Structure formats: structure tokens, C-alpha cells
Amino acid sequence: MADGKAPLPFVYTFMAGAIAGVSEILVMYPLDVVKTRVQLQPAGATGADAYTGMVDCFQKIVRNEGFSRLYRGITAPILMEAPKRATKFAANDKWGKLWRDLFGQEKMTQSLSVLTGASAGATEAFVVVPFELVKIRLQDKASAGKYSGMTDVIVKTVRNEGILAMYNGLESTLWRHILWNAGYFGCIFQVRELIPKASTKKGQTINDIIAGSVGGTVGTILNTPLDVVKSRIQNSPKVPGQVPKYNWAFPGVATVAREEGFAALYKGFVPKVLRLGPGGGILLVVYTGMMDFFRNMREAKLA
């Protein structure tokens, strides 16, 4: 991400993104579990086990399944977060340079930031789809007893549905990541332009928290409908001779809106935005801090 500082080799950008991603997932993962449970709950679900909202879902998971269930499936996200976030920031940096050169711009602009973020999101999506599929199937309440862990999900999915099933939901994941990253990086650029420049390290951290949190919130507002559909696509096993109810992104959005109402497209929005709003701030702060650390370390070696 262009920040006006001396550029670093690709490996440093990749490492900084990886560390930022793992830091964010360790702090915010339980909200992701709650978000997925709410998204997968059928319309009109009733009974003692039905979730009435985010807090109710959180309480019932802890009470009925134990606190550790809030970290169910975290192996896949942990393994995913390093390459995912590393790809996000590294691709954003590379795409930014490409688009600036292509359009003859010396510095980033608002429109280039949005375009760069969208390009980075599309690149990131190809990395994360198999991990996301494993995570979704482990987080689903109905998976209790069905899968013993990450490896079991992979083995059973490939054996029963074929190797290409690991990329179920690729198209919806592409749209989800394009929209989130376009909003995230576009907002970071705009917020940084609007707020006073920091003169201290503490001030820079506060600015990054603000910019990253606003970016994460806007990105979440933009991409939640595609996230709802993606969760359903990836949790629907492929059956030979049958066309899945949820198969493509925008037809899936139309199906959910028609059958369950527009509000259903924002199922799980509260835990999702609570995770990815502050989570976006954590990402940016840790990424910026690691880039500064690597930059200082490299300058010290060259001195």
C-alpha cells in the first residue's frame, strides 16, 4: 500500500500482511463463528435452539456447546490468514504500481485506490476459497459429528464431490473480496486525506485505527449480501444430477431477497461489522507497524 515511504522488497510486504492477518484472526474469530451461524440459519427457524440475534447466538453456543466451539474451525482460518492477508497487501502494492504506471499517475488517487483494492481482492479470492469452504462447513451447527476436523472436511469433500468442489463458491467469493477491498482501501485513502496528518507514532497509530476501521465498516456494508450467499453456496454439497439452490452469486442474492426479504441479505451483519470494522483497524495498524519495523531493520543493515 503506497504510503509515501521508501518501498520495500515484495517479501517484506508479504510477511507484514501475514503477521497482520494472524493477529486479526486471533482477536476477532469468535465473531466470525457467530456471523456464519446466523447466516446459515434457515428463514423462520423456531425452537429453543434457534438464534434470535448475535448475542443470543453467542450465549447459546457457549451454553450448549462450550466456549471452545467459538474457535471451532480456526485451524483453516489461521492457515488461511497468513497467505490471505499477505496476498491482500502485497497484491494491493503491486496492483497500485501497475495502475499508476498504466494511467500515468505519480501518486495514488481515490479512484485508483478503489480500482487497486478491487484488483487485490480478486487476487486474494483465488487463495482463500478452499480454506473458506473448510471453515464454513466446520462452523455450521449441523456439522457436529459429521467432520472430525479440517483434514476430514477436505477428504470427505474431495471423495464425495470431487476435487473441484474445493472451489465451490469461487465466483461469489470473488465478488465478496472485490467489493470489500475496494471499499476498504478506497476509504483508507479518503480518510487519510481528510484527517490531520500525524506528527507522532501514537498519532499515526490512531489515524490507522480510524482509517482501517472506517474502511472495514464500509467494505462490510458493501459485501455482506455476497457473503451470505457465499456461505450458503459453500455449505451446499454437490449432488450429481441436481442443481444446487444456491449456485451463482447474484441469482443467489435474488433468491434470498425474494424468499426471505431484503433484510436476510444482511444476516450476520452485526457480528461481521463488529469483527471487520475494528478488525480492519487492527490489520492496518499491525501491517503499518511491521512495514516500519522491516524498513528500519533494512536501513540499519545498509548503514
pLDDT digits (tens, 9 = 90+) for 261-302: 999 999 888 888 888 888 889 889 999 999 989 988 888 877
How many angstroms separate the first and last alpha carbons of the chain? Answer: 25
Nearest 5°: the CA angle 87, 89, 90 is 60
Question: What domains sit in the chain, N to C, each tagged with a CATH number?
Answer: 10-302 (1.50.40.10)
Residue written as cell 508479504? 14
| Euclidean distance between CA atoms 193 and 197, whole angstroms | 8
pLDDT at 128: 85
Residue written as cell 453456543? 61
> 171-181, pLDDT tens digit by residue?
999 999 999 99
Out of 7-16, 85-94, 105-114, least confident range: 7-16
Q: Which three cell numbers stand for residue 300?
A: 540499519
Rounded to two decimals, the pTM is 0.75
> 103-139, pLDDT tens digit by residue?
999 888 999 999 999 999 999 998 888 888 888 888 7
Long-range contacts of 161-166 (CB under 8 A, 24+ apart): 161/237, 161/238, 162/238, 165/133, 165/237, 165/238, 166/129, 166/130, 166/133
**Cβ atoms 153, 166 nearer than 8 A:** no
Q: Which carries the bigger pLDDT value, residue 10 or residue 289?
A: 289
| Euclidean distance between CA atoms 148 and 166, whole angstroms | 17
